[in-house]
Amino acid sequence: MLTKPVILITGASQGIGEAIAKAFARQVRGVRLALVARNKANLQRVARACAKLGAVAEIFRCDVTDEAAVAAMATAVLARFERVDVLVNNAGKFAGAPFTEMPVADFDRIVAANLRSVFLVSRAIVPGMVKRERGDVFNVSSIAGLVAYPGAGAYTAAKFAVSGLSKVMRVELKDKGVRVCCVYPGGTVSPSWAGTGIPDERLMPAEDVAQAFLDVYRLSRRTVVEEIVLRPQLGDL
Read off the DSSP letter of residue 10: E
Q: Which of 85, 96, 98 lies closest to 130 in space, CA to CA? A: 85
Is 184 one of the annotated active-site residues of the chain? no
Residue 129 neighbours by CB under 8 Å, 6+ apart:
84, 85, 87, 135, 137, 173, 176, 177, 178
Let me know: does 77 contact 60? Beta carbons within 8 Å: yes
Q: Which helix (H) or strand (E) holds 76?
A: helix 67-81
> Taking the CA of residue 101 as centre, how many other CA atoms within 13 Å lie in the half-sphere pointing to its CB?
7
Q: What are the residue numbers of the active site?
A: 155
